[in-house]
Amino acid sequence: MDLKENRLYRNKADSNKVVVVKEINNNEVTFLHAPPIDSDIHWFVPPKRDTLSLSDFTSTYKPFKQ
């Protein structure tokens, strides 16, 4: 999987949860949690930043379009 090619990912367990990859450094992925897809007021929600190891990220998230 090439994270630089795909930046938008969905949670494997809940496809309503979407994240945007910001950067990959030293086997860690930093990403922003986007508002849920079914949200009506998504522009009011500030993004939450999170970091996971590359292996944890790939086991939890899949590319948005697959």
User: 13-57 pLDDT, tens per residue?
Assistant: 998 899 999 999 989 999 999 877 776 665 666 778 999 999 999
Structure tokens given for 49 = 């930043």
Query: What are the C-alpha distances in Å from 39 to residues 7, 30, 48?
Result: 20, 23, 15
Could you give the CA distance from residue 2 to residue 63 in angstroms, rounded to a whole number? 10
Q: What is the DSSP letter of 20?
A: E
Cβ atoms of 58 and 31 closer than 8 Å = no
Q: What is the pLDDT of residues 3-13, one digit of tens each?
A: 666 689 999 99
